[in-house]
Amino acid sequence: MSHTAHIRSHRKPRRSASTIAMRAGVAGGVLSTLAVAGASGSANAAEPVTQTLELPTLTADLAAQIAQSADATQQAAANYELQAERDAAAAQAAKEAKADLAEAKKKAAEEKRKAEEAARKAAAERASRDAERAALSASVEISSESGSGSGSGSGSASASVGASAGVSTSTASGSAAAVVAFVRAQVGDAYVSGGTGPNSWDCSGLVQAAFRQVNIDLPRVSQAQSTAGTQVSLSNLQPGDILYWGGAGSAYHVGVYVGDGMFVGAQNPSTGVALKSLSYDPPSGAVRVL
């Protein structure tokens, strides 16, 4: 004890029990609170913190839209593939058709050439036979006219009258002979629509070329040639007369009368230029330009 403890003024005042108890309670409460906080902090420190991310839920509508989009993509791909196959097939078909057409044209041209060649040979053979018969007939007729001319004057007069029908001059006779010689020389040539020679003709092209030999320019087509001269009777024909089939001014075919009931014309692709009898295809009329 201090030496001043006995002095009353130097003694510390005693705390009351209630004060001490209250302070102890407060301290205890604080300590309890600290203990709880520490325990909670320890517990929180011991447990790891996990953060949960919520993902969107795949709803039925969204799934249906995805499926529909996939189907549309697949359908588009199928359509593209089908179109590509169709385009390839069309291109192949066009290529094959082009090749077939070229082959068909080639075969047709070859067949046409063979047919024309056969027709030309046949026409030449027939023309040769017809020419021989015509020459023989002409020889017989000349002999007969010579005999009758020397026997009587009336026969000579009759022959003169026949020769003078139309234009009766030696020039005309020479021109007619030139026309006849020209068309006879073309017998056996091919018939080609629009042909004007020198080795293929159509009917009016042949007639026009024949009269050009004697410096006479005829129209190009049959219709005009059928009215180019003086109309003559079929019973009074002379060599060099133009024969026509159809109406005058609307004829569809022409030829040249060469005498002895025969004519030469560019008939058709089968016969070509041929020497024919009037009875083979009787004409509708005739014109004389010489």
Condensed to tens digits (0 to 9), the pLDDT of residues 161-201 reads 333 333 333 334 789 999 999 999 999 999 999 999 999 99
The reported pLDDT for the residue numbered 218 is 97
Asked whether residue 18 is assigned to any structural domain, the reply reads no
Asked whether residue 159 is assigned to any structural domain, the reply reads no
SS3 134: helix
Confidence check: pLDDT of 203 > 90: yes
The reported pLDDT for the residue numbered 139 is 45
The reported pLDDT for the residue numbered 106 is 87
Sign, CA torsion 247/250/254/259: positive
d(CA 253, CA 266): 9
Domain range holding 232? Answer: 69-148+176-290
Asked whether residue 288 is assigned to any structural domain, the reply reads yes
Asked whether residue 265 is assigned to any structural domain, the reply reads yes
| CATH number where 129 lies | 3.90.1720.10
Confidence check: pLDDT of 253 > 80: yes
Mean pLDDT of all residues in 245-261:
96
Confidence check: pLDDT of 277 > 50: yes
> Which DSSP letter does residue 196 get?
B
The position carrying tokens 């077939």 is 100
Count the domains in the chain: 1
Look over the chain and give the mean of its residue pLDDT values, rounded to a whole number: 76
Closest CA to 116 of 124, 105, 127: 124
d(CA 163, CA 202): 31
Mean pLDDT of all residues in 10-19:
55
Asked whether residue 37 is assigned to any structural domain, the reply reads no
Asked whether residue 266 is assigned to any structural domain, the reply reads yes
Asked whether residue 107 is assigned to any structural domain, the reply reads yes
218: enclosing H helix or E strand:
none
Asked whether residue 84 is assigned to any structural domain, the reply reads yes
